[in-house]
């Protein structure tokens, strides 16, 4: 009987630890497997109190009666997970991590059943498992990095283009890909993959040996992140787009952001750098070797931008050339222009061919993408999270005259209170209804949105029903910076 009770108690402990592990794995995946970011940068730290601190305290205090609270804990965890819009993805890394944990927890279960040892040893087992998995990941990544480097070295004719910016790097990457892919076998890092580990995996798994041009998006959350990417890919061309306050909470100062972006200069094969016109010159301690720096965009005139199309004249080699595109937003003119200049100057594409390809550029998904759904106009700008971009989306919305205008936004994430007040003032001028999602900026937006009817919703589970009640035929809905609800 005593053995049976002991087994039941150990099973309860095992279920409890697995629930904590599951919560941690979900957060680790969100925050790029950085425990420090989970503890110091989490937008909803009270979740840690609900799903870690309180359960552990109850486990210690309630002892053999903990199973009563465990039922409540599992129900709360299940409801929490159900409401998430960005759930755990069982990647190879997550499976490896979970497998190591499972092995250690199984060993702990066997040991505790057969040996008189403290029940709290299960926490020790979990900690040892996490440390072991962390060390194993370092070994695995190091080996994968070596394989990726060897693969790039085996492709001497491959030209590599690296792209970074505070805003617009994914769009720039996609525009370059579309212009070059008709003439060259071109490959670009998919979606928003832009971390060193993501790029390593992409090279090993997806880069084909006969590729002529590889376009790499380089992102960063910490100083040194882009330096690692530069040393891996050793690119020939670099594009450094507009530098601003994106991820300011991680970098603390604009100077740190700039210096991190300028780590793209750290390539031994660098021939040319396209630098956004308003960015500072590289400091003297940055070794630019023999790389030529070109400012972009060059002179632009005759700009027209509305809800249907964008047109502009761009100066190339002392002459102006006209371009038309279905891509929306004035800020995209700069992003398109650098793709044009790179294609013409460095890959010898004819201007007339480029004009045709610019006209046929596809709108980048979730970046000021215009959709017509059920007799309504949708402006999907959900991947844009900076004031300049959101201001342009609001300006375009203001041009619409056929129905109500509704904005759905959590405000500006990783930005200042001042910028969110500016956003609220812009919303006041244009929209009939504002739906504020999430809690992060809800207070500051609600206080400053005074002319527009507003509604605050804590999560997006019922967003579709709410929109259905407000939205009629011919209305316009702008989704601005649709961040996941863990933020």
Distance between start and end Cα atoms, the chain: 48
- pLDDT at position 308 is 93
- pLDDT at position 98 is 83
**Cα 341 to Cα 172: distance, rounded to the nearest angstrom:** 12
* Long-range contacts of the stretch 27-32 (C-beta < 8 A, 24+): 27/486, 28/97, 29/88, 29/89, 29/91, 29/94, 30/86, 30/484, 30/486, 32/195, 32/221
Tell me the average pLDDT across 88-98.
85
pLDDT for residue 72 is more than 60: yes
- pLDDT at position 3 is 54
Q: Confidence band (pLDDT; 50, 70, 90) for 115?
A: low
pLDDT above 70 covers what percent of the chain? 93
Q: Confidence band (pLDDT; 50, 70, 90) for 119?
A: low
Q: Domain spanning 369-480 has what CATH number?
A: 3.90.190.20
- pLDDT at position 248 is 63
Residue 297: asked if its preceding bond is cis (omega within 30°), the reply is yes
Say which residue, 319 or 37, is predicted with more confidence: 319
pLDDT digits over 54-64, tens only? 999 999 898 87
Say which residue, 4 or 477, is predicted with more confidence: 477
User: 23-32, 94-103, 229-238, 437-446: which has the highest mean pLDDT?
Assistant: 229-238
pLDDT for residue 1 is more than 60: no
Q: What are the domain boundaries of the chain?
A: 2-141, 157-359, 369-480
Lowest mean pLDDT among 101-115, 198-212, 413-427: 101-115
Tell me the average pLDDT across 405-433.
90
- pLDDT at position 467 is 83
- pLDDT at position 163 is 98
pLDDT for residue 440 is more than 80: no
pLDDT digits over 123-133, tens only? 777 788 888 88
Using DSSP bridges, classify how beta strands 186-188 and 213-217 pair: parallel, antiparallel or unpaired: parallel
Domains 157-359 and 369-480 share a fold: no
pLDDT digits over 369-394, tens only? 898 888 889 999 988 778 888 999 99
Q: Confidence band (pLDDT; 50, 70, 90) for 67?
A: confident
Tell me the average pLDDT across 312-316.
96
- pLDDT at position 12 is 84
Partners of 163 in the β-ladder: 217, 239
**Cα 188 to Cα 386: distance, rounded to the nearest angstrom:** 24
| DSSP alpha helix (H) spans, 85-161 | 92-114, 121-153
Tell me the average pLDDT across 145-168.
96
DSSP 8-state assignment for residue 479: E
pLDDT for residue 486 is more than 60: no
**Joined tokens for residue 12:** 């309860």
**Cα 230 to Cα 226: distance, rounded to the nearest angstrom:** 6
Tell me the average pLDDT across 406-434.
90
pLDDT digits over 323-360, tens only? 999 999 999 999 999 999 999 999 999 999 999 999 99
**Cα 184 to Cα 176: distance, rounded to the nearest angstrom:** 11
**Joined tokens for residue 149:** 């480097």
Task: Tell me how crowded residue 220 is: count the other CB atoms within 10 A of its CB.
Answer: 25
* Long-range contacts of the stretch 76-80 (C-beta < 8 A, 24+): 76/50, 76/51, 77/19, 77/22, 77/23, 77/51, 80/47, 80/50, 80/51
- pLDDT at position 438 is 79
Residues in the chain, total: 487
pLDDT for residue 406 is more than 90: yes
pLDDT for residue 232 is more than 90: yes
- pLDDT at position 247 is 66
Partners of 133 in the β-ladder: none
pLDDT for residue 468 is more than 90: no
List, in order, residues 6 or more apart from 5 with CB less than 8 Å away. Answer: none
DSSP 8-state assignment for residue 470: H
pLDDT above 90 covers what percent of the chain? 56
Tell me the average pLDDT across 399-408.
93
- pLDDT at position 484 is 58
Nearest to 485 by CA among 436, 452, 443, 433: 436
Lowest mean pLDDT among 308-322, 348-362, 415-429: 415-429
Cβ neighbourhood burial of 165 (10 Å; 0-12, 13-18, 19+) = buried
Q: Domain spanning 157-359 has what CATH number?
A: 3.40.1190.10
Nearest to 26 by CA among 76, 97, 105: 97
Tell me the average pLDDT across 184-188.
97
CB-CB contact of 215 with 161 (8 Å): yes
Partners of 237 in the β-ladder: 161, 272
CB-CB contact of 475 with 376 (8 Å): yes
């Amino acid at each position: 009987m005593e053995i049976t009770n002991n087994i039941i108690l150990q099973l309860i402990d095992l279920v409890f630890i697995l629930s904590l592990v599951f919560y941690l794995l979900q957060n680790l995946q969100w925050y790029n497997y950085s425990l420090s970011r989970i503890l110091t940068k989490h937008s909803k730290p009270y979740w840690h109190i609900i799903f870690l601190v309180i359960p552990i305290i109850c486990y210690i205090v309630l002892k053999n009666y903990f199973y009563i609270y465990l039922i409540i804990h599992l129900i709360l965890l299940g409801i929490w997970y159900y409401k998430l819009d960005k759930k755990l993805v069982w990647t190879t890394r997550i499976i490896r991590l979970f497998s190591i944990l499972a092995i250690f927890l199984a060993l702990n279960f066997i040991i505790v059943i057969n040996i008189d040892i403290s029940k709290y040893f299960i926490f020790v087992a979990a900690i040892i498992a996490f440390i072991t998995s962390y060390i194993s990941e370092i070994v695995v990544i190091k080996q994968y990095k070596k394989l990726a480097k060897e693969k790039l070295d085996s492709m001497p004719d491959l030209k590599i283009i690296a792209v970074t910016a505070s805003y617009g790097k994914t769009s720039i990457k996609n525009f370059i890909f579309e212009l070059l892919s008709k003439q060259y076998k071109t490959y670009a890092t998919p979606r928003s993959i832009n971390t060193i580990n993501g790029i390593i995996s992409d090279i090993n798994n997806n880069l084909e040996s006969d590729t002529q041009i590889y376009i790499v998006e380089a992102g960063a959350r910490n100083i040194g992140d882009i330096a690692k990417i530069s040393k891996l890919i050793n690119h020939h061309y670099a594009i450094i787009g507009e530098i601003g306050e994106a991820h300011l909470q991680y970098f603390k100062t604009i100077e740190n952001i700039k210096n991190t972006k300028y780590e793209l200069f750290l390539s031994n094969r660098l021939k040319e750098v396209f630098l956004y016109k308003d960015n500072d010159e590289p400091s003297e301690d940055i070794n630019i070797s023999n790389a030529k720096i070109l400012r972009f965009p060059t002179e632009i005139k005759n700009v027209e931008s509305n809800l249907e199309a964008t047109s502009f004249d761009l100066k190339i080699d002392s002459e102006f050339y006209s371009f038309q595109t279905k891509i929306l937003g004035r800020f995209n003119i700069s992003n398109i222009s650098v793709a044009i200049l790179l294609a013409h100057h460095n890959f010898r594409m004819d201007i007339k061919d480029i004009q045709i390809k610019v006209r046929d550029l596809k709108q980048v998904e979730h970046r000021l993408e215009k959709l017509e759904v059920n007799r309504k106009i949708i402006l999907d700008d959900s991947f844009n999270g900076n004031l300049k971009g959101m201001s342009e989306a609001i300006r375009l919305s203001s041009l619409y005259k056929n129905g109500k205008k509704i904005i759905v936004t959590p405000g500006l994430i990783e930005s200042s209170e001042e910028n969110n007040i500016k956003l609220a003032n812009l919303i006041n001028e244009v929209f009939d209804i504002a739906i504020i999602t999430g809690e992060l900026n809800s207070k500051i937006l609600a206080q400053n949105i005074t002319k527009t009817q507003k509604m605050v919703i804590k999560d997006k589970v019922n967003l579709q029903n709410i929109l259905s009640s407000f939205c009629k035929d011919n209305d316009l809905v702008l989704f601005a910076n649709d961040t996941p609800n863990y933020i």
